[in-house]
Amino acid sequence: MNNIIDYTENIFEKIKHIDENGNEYWFARELMPVLEYKEWRKFEKVIKKAMEACVGSNYNALDHFVLKDKMVSIGSNTVRKIQDYKLSRYACYLIVQNCNPRIKIIALAQTYFAIQTRKQELLEKDYNLLSEDEKRLYQRSLTKKGNESLNITARNVGVKDFGRFHNSGYKGLYNGETANDIAKRKNLRYREDILDNMCSDELIANLFRISLTDQKIKNEKINNDKDANDAHYSVGSDIREIIKKQGGTLPEDYPTPEKSLKEIEKENKYLLDSK
């Protein structure tokens, strides 16, 4: 049973994206084949039913189903525009509820999105009540998932030197600083993870960098190592300029927390084990 649950979670997590605010979303065109639909026409009918259910639940469908136009290659250097939807977790939940539950993957998807939607509701409701360390743990979890997705995207376009690739993003966001430079400024031990030693707001800035780079590589159809590195630097640099323009705190100006997240996790485990 656990293997089925792990498999189900894995296939939906693989196609999940995270936006600049840490919100999770899926694209309908990527969700369609996973749910074993072969024709967009038929799948869009399910989407329309899900949108009606969304309105019927007194939610604004446009908040959960965002229509997107995409340019796709159809061969011979020709492209055409197709429609897609950017879907919230709740939108995915409504979609699978309107699919045929007799199909095994649909039944699994219904359980997965029902559970995950409830978890997300609780997180959104309680986030402002969390302590700073709890917010750090939450944002660190999102950056881990975001980096996993970004690494897959980078590998698919030919990136081999991942140290250089990630440093490109850090250099853009941190005004030329590499991961090692950041670690030295924070007085961290050798090979200690810099993301484990950031406050929640600094983590959010990095999550924005990670997510936007992932999107840029995919949307611009980047297909080589150099352009991927340049894209990561460009995104980091652009986010830095936005922060400066809006009068925000630059990432290097945030104080380093007294304890790393590894230390906090160890302390919490010790308290749980001692009970």
Residue ranges per domain, the chain? 2-128, 130-274
Cβ neighbour number for residue 51 with a 10 Å cutoff: 20
Q: What does the pLDDT average to over 110-128?
A: 69
Could you give the C-alpha distances from 63 to 19, 54, 92, in angstroms and in order? 14, 10, 13
- What DSSP string runs through 3-66? HHHHHHHHHHHHT-EE-TTS-EEEEHHHHHHHTT---HHHHHHHHHHHHHHHHHTT--HHHHEE
CA atoms in the 13 A half-sphere facing the CB of 29? 11
**Residue in the structure block whose two tokens are 């967009």:** 40
Do the beta carbons of residue 26 and residue 87 sit within 8 Å? Answer: yes
**Residue in the structure block whose two tokens are 């936005």:** 242
Contacts with 132 (C-beta within 8 Å, 6 or more apart), sequence order: 199, 200, 257
pTM score, two decimals? 0.58
Query: Cα(252)–Cα(93) distance, rounded to whole angstroms?
Result: 39
| pLDDT at residue 270 in the model | 39
Inter-axis angle of helices 162-173 and 132-156, nearest 10: 130
Q: Is the pLDDT of residue 125 over 80?
A: no
CA atoms in the 13 A half-sphere facing the CB of 27? 15
Query: Cα(171)–Cα(113) distance, rounded to whole angstroms?
Result: 37
Closest by CA to 88, choosing from 129, 60, 127, is 60
Q: Which residue has the higher pLDDT, 78 or 235?
A: 235
Q: Range with the lowest mean pLDDT among 9-18, 44-53, 181-190?
A: 9-18
Query: Cα(100)–Cα(158) distance, rounded to whole angstroms?
Result: 39
Query: Cα(272)–Cα(270) distance, rounded to whole angstroms?
Result: 5
| pLDDT at residue 274 in the model | 40
Q: Is the pLDDT of residue 275 over 50?
A: no
pLDDT band at 172 (very low <50, low <70, confident <90, very high): very high
Q: State the average pLDDT for the chain.
A: 86
| pLDDT at residue 75 in the model | 66
Coil, helix or strand at residue 227: helix
pLDDT in tens, 35-73: 999 999 999 999 999 999 989 888 899 999 999 887 766
pLDDT in tens, 215-233: 899 989 999 999 999 999 9
- Which structure tokens are listed for 62? 């446009």
Q: Range with the lowest mean pLDDT among 44-53, 123-132, 190-199, 254-263?
A: 123-132
| pLDDT at residue 187 in the model | 96
Q: Is the pLDDT of residue 5 over 50?
A: no
